[in-house]
Structure formats: structure tokens, C-alpha cells
Amino acid sequence: MIKNDLYLRALRGETVERPPVWMMRQAGRYLPEFIALRDQYDFFTRCQTPELAAEITVQPIRRFPLDAAILFSDILVVPQAMGIDFKMKESVGPWLDTPIRSLEQVQNLQVEGAEENLKYVYDAIDITLQKLENEIPLIGFAGSPWTLLCYAVEGKGSKSFDIAKSFCFTQPEAAHLLLQKITDVTIAYLKRKVQSGVSAVQIFDSWGGMLSPEDYQEFSWKYINQIVEALAPEAHVVVFAKGCWYALEEMTKSKVSALGVDWTITPELARKFTNNSITLQGNFDPARLHSSPEVIRKMVHEMIDRFGKDKYIANLGHGILPNIPLENAEAFIRAVVEWKG
């Protein structure tokens, strides 16, 4: 039994004494101990070495009173397992020498058994669970099919992903085949994560907000929902779709346990669009962690009061920024832990 199950109780919609708290990218570049490992090992070495991934996962847990850990990994391990050779380029980010631009390339991608190539992730889960000693739950994650298509077609990060969007609109057959292949591998991958012992899975649709509401339904949500349908009988599923406030009402009709929201929507509107029927997670602006600890505490307490303590998980509206002072990150976390209704 997990000793601190506050996060799981919030996902189940139970009455809680306070909201649980964790931070997206909490195992990351704002931590000096993370930077020390980053300086020794390149990015994908850290992802693909189970001992390193487990160590990085628990680093913030040793420092802060967090209510959940999230496995250190990357969304790009799934396309890598399918034969898409992503690299992490210094000062550039994700990089693909040969982006996916044709139906033939999509047809050649490996699907059957691709999740077997990710054994290092399942091994990292085993080691992490030993380190956590049943204190708090462990979250596994994957990128949404649309977000992974964006990187695979664009070949790198982008402010607008115009190449990826034009690929979908000019070669819809290839686009939908690619989305379906990514979906199938992601389902198998997340099921293996659950079998390995994660308590919940989160789907990150980082670039969903690039699409219009209509295109979001066609090229993103229907594939995310396949993943939700497949995983919901086995584990809690959280969907975080950045910039997709317009889809909250539709998403609420699915089998998700919770929906993440970013800072571009008020708590009141998020509750209204979801009919106050589902657990929400978010939505503190990560840049606001540059404010003083006193201001952070005040804003966090206001955020909780506005969302309400039940059916709510306190988090950021996106990943923590690398230049946030440690005491400010701690102020955010402790503000939640010390909140009194």
C-alpha cells in the first residue's frame, strides 16, 4: 500500500484534507544535482540508463514534500522505438536528420513489438519503486500522437509547426496512418508501464493548441481518446493538452481521471467547461515562480481557493523553468502542503 495516497484520492474525486501537489518537470534543470548528472551524461544516456533515470526521478522527492513522483524520461523514446532516430542537439533540442515527410516513410515504421525496445524504461520503474519505498505514487507518461507527429514531421522544435500541419492537410492518409501507428505503440508502452507498477499515466499534448478546435478533434483528440479508452480500465489517466481549453468540455465526456489545464484559463472557467464533474490539475504560470516566495504563497493559496480543494491537483500550467530559484520552487510546494481551508 502507498503510504501517501493523496494524489490517487484526488484522482478518484474523493474528499481530501488538502489538494496533492507535484510539478511538471520537477526532476529537471532547476536542481543542482540534476545539473551535475547532466554535465556527466548526455540526455538520452540519462533516459536510457535505468539507474540514472531512477536517481533523477527521486532527486526532487528527497528535497521537497511532493505527493507524487514522475518517472524521468522523454516523450521521444516512443518514436525512437519505432525507428525514428531522434537526437538531442545542443542549443537546438530535438533533432531528426531525416524527418517523416512521405507515406512510404510512414509505412516503413515499426509498430509490432516496438514497445519491447523500451525495456530500459520498465527497468527504471522497477528501480524507482524500490527507491520510493511505497511512500508516494509514481506517474508514467507519454506524448500525445499529435505532439509526436509534430516533432517527427518538422524534424525539430518549432513555434508554429507549419510543416507538420501542412503534412496533415496535404497528405491526410499518411498523417492518419502515422498518428494511428504512434497511438498503437503508445498504448502498448503505457500498458507495460502500468504492469511495471506506475499508479497513473499522463498524456502530454504539448502542441495541441497549435490546431483549430475542428482540427484538434480530427488530428489529436480522437487518438488521445483511443489511449484513454485502452488504459482507463487499468490505471488512472490524466490528459494535459496545452492551449486546448476549447476541448475541455469534450474531454470531460471521456474516461479520463483528470484534465490538466494551463494558465491561460481561469479556475472558474475550467470548472464551468468541465461541469465541475472531473478532477482538474494545474495551473500556476511557471514564470510566476520568479516572484518572491511570499507572493508565490499568496497566489498558490488563492489558486486553491478558486479551484476548490476537492477534485483538484495543484501543479504548474506547464513544466518548471530551468532558472527558477530552489527556494521559490519549495515555496510553491509548501504553500500547497500548508494550505488550510
Binding residues: 25-29, 44, 74, 151, 206, 318
Q: Are 285 and 320 in contact, with CB atoms under 8 Å apart? A: no
Q: How far is CA 228 from CA 198, 203, 237, 253, in A?
A: 16, 9, 6, 11
Binding residues for substrate: 25-29, 44, 74, 151, 206, 318
**Nearest-angstrom CA–CA distance, 249 and 254:** 10
Strands 279-284 and 258-260, sheet pairing: parallel
Q: Which three cell numbers stand for residue 175?
A: 498523417
Q: How far is CA 53 from CA 72, 102, 329, in A?
A: 5, 34, 21
Three-state secondary-structure class, residue 114 = helix
Number of helices (H), then strands (E), belonging to the chain: the values are: 16, 9
Task: Give catalytic residue positions.
Answer: 25, 29, 38, 74, 151
Residues 6+ apart with CB under 8 A from 166: none
Longest dimension (CA), the chain: 58
